[in-house]
Amino acid sequence: MDPIDAELALAEVRARRSQVIDANSIPSWFWRAIGVLMVMFTAAVESRRPWLVAIGSVAYGIGLATTILLVVRQAKVQVRPSLIGIEGFLAIFGFTIVLVGIGVGLGLGLEAAGVGWPATLAVIPVAFGLAVGGPRLMGFLRRLMRSRPLAGDR
């Protein structure tokens, strides 16, 4: 195979890999939907009204299941976990820990200060963090996956 054909073949493989990565990225609307569902559910539970807790729980369950199903149904193939590597794992883990820390810390602080609806108020910045940070995390993971060598570990 001459060098030009080899280069063209590699370019085609890179293009196909990018298509697979893009086809399986979690869309931006997913993060916003999860954030809205979290705030709605937390407010329903924190209302301490049994009928509202029941309605909020059912709505959350249906909303979460629907949101996840829509994302899963759009995925055409599955990206190998080794493609994100330890860097990707640490980014996902760090993102999660930061949001959990913000939510729990703020909620406990608001409750200690005697503020009403502390969990609901604490989950709002977490939902905002998901809506803004989720798409950025996905962008980082896409760049990370594209930077991996074409011949990975087998």
Q: Name the more confident of 124 and 149.
A: 124
pTM (two decimals): 0.85
The verdict on residue 152 lying in a domain is no
The verdict on residue 137 lying in a domain is yes
The verdict on residue 41 lying in a domain is yes
Tens-place pLDDT, residues 3-17? 888 888 888 888 887
Q: Name the more confident of 75 and 70.
A: 70
* Chain centroid, CA 109 distance in Å: 26
The verdict on residue 128 lying in a domain is yes
The verdict on residue 16 lying in a domain is yes
The verdict on residue 153 lying in a domain is no
Distances (CA, A) of 45 to 20, 53, 94, 120, 130: 40, 5, 27, 9, 21
CB 53 within 8 A of CB 44: yes
pLDDT of 154 > 50? The answer is no
The domain total for the chain is 1
Backbone torsions φ then ψ of 128, nearest 5 degrees: -65, -40
pLDDT of 63 > 70? The answer is yes
CB 24 within 8 A of CB 78: yes
The verdict on residue 154 lying in a domain is no
- The parent domain of residue 22 ranges over 3-147
